Amino acid sequence: MRLSLRSATTLLIAAVVTLLPGTARADVTYPDPQPITGQQIIHDPTVLRLKSGGYVAYSTGGVIGARTSRDRVRWDDAGNAFDRPPSWWYEYNDTGDPWAPDLSYRAGRYWLYYAVSSWGTNHSAIGVATSPSGLPGTWTDHGKAFASERTDSWNAIDPALIQADGRLWMSFGSYWTGIRMVELDPRTGKALPDAQVHHLATRPDAPYAVEGPYIVKHGRHYYLFASYDTCCAGVNSTYRIRVGRSTSVTGPYVDSTGKPLLEGGGDLLLAGHGRYVGTGGESIFKDRGRDVLAYHYYDAADGGTPKLGLNTLTWKKNGWPAVL
């Protein structure tokens, strides 16, 4: 193909810039997040398009930090989900600090799940609240949906809900033995009495660094997305998103090579690149019929500040997901 002088000069400049020490080079493997404006700071985002129009995002930080948007591009700070921490939160940490919320709509109400814990312990609980509108300041807390104790081999944080075959399930988990799942009572939104704790994914090596599950159904498969490696270390974070699938919501989940996620398997979906470090804390929501991946990354161009990443999630002919 012949190039004009202008095109050839442009390509030469681009090549020189790519080779200059200290210059950033776009990673052709992983897409950058879609451009957004306004309040971009967020951690462990859960996002939903509201029935009333517009979008809301909840996240770790504050009393479950809230962001709202009319167009999914400009985001505004909307305070917190709750005015003040429910008193039972203090059983799990001294500051009443909640983590990693999950937002969904079911049975005519919005449902918000979240975790309360302390760093490095599995004395943890997942709480549940409901709202008629999904907006901050409208939530009624209903207490614990599920809890773990120091004698348990799992950790009750990072909740995510999915309905499957007329039943309601919650995946959860962080380190310890990885990702777990319990069945919920659809009426109360809380774990069934003596619910079996299913095991979905783990790593073969301590400290079993896999957490933050999210499950969606596509075609005849359920897809388990999870964050692997190190969170919450700014530009030193190594979070990345991996995925496996199963024909049953309770597993077993395997990657595209057939390796079980219970044996450390998982296809790499999105990893840090350029200024976008430690991509993880993911969730998925529907917007006008398309799946959208929400996650946080640490902005290396802004001192490692955690920010909101949004990308369209598409599906290949072989059934596996890809990020656009």
β partners of residue 80: 65
Instruction: Measure the CA–CA gap between 223 and 91, rounded to whole angstroms.
Output: 34
23 in a domain, yes or no? no
pTM of the model: 0.90
Q: Is 124 exposed, middle or buried (0-12, 13-18, 19+ CB in 10 A)?
A: buried
Answer yes or no: 44 catalytic.
yes
242 in a domain, yes or no? yes
Q: Tell me which amino acid residue 248 is.
A: S
What does the pLDDT read at residue 23?
33
202 in a domain, yes or no? yes
285 in a domain, yes or no? yes
Place of tokens 């409208």: 138
Catalytic residue among 102, 211, 255, 267: 211
Instruction: Measure the CA–CA gap between 113 and 111, rounded to whole angstroms.
Output: 7
Q: Give the contacts of 62 (CB within 8 A, at least 6 positions apart).
A: 79, 80
2 in a domain, yes or no? no
C-alpha dihedral over 201, 175, 196, 93, to 10 degrees?
-150
299, 305 contact by CB (below 8 A): yes
Q: Please name which of 134, 156, 176, 167 lies closest in space to residue 47, comparing C-alpha atoms.
A: 134
What does the pLDDT read at residue 29?
87
Q: What are the CA-CA distances from residue 102 to residues 11, 75, 93, 204 (Å)?
A: 45, 19, 20, 27
What does the pLDDT read at residue 13?
31
CATH of the domain at 162: 2.115.10.20
Instruction: Measure the CA–CA gap between 211 and 305, rounded to whole angstroms.
Output: 21
Sites in the chain below the pLDDT cut of 50: 1-27
Instruction: Measure the CA–CA gap between 33 and 313, rounded to whole angstroms.
Output: 12
38 in a domain, yes or no? yes
Number of domains in the chain: 1
Report long-range pairs for 71-74 (Cβ below 8 Å, ≥24 apart).
72/36, 72/287, 72/310, 73/35, 73/36, 73/37, 74/36, 74/37, 74/38
Tell me the residue length of the chain. Answer: 324
27 in a domain, yes or no? no
Instruction: Measure the CA–CA gap between 310 and 324, rounded to whole angstroms.
Output: 10
296 in a domain, yes or no? yes
What does the pLDDT read at residue 109?
98
Domain that holds residue 166: 34-323
Answer yes or no: 211 catalytic.
yes
Residue 148, token pair as written in the block: 């773990």
How do strand 167-172 and strand 305-315 relate by DSSP bridges? Answer: unpaired
Catalytic residue among 44, 97, 255, 267: 44
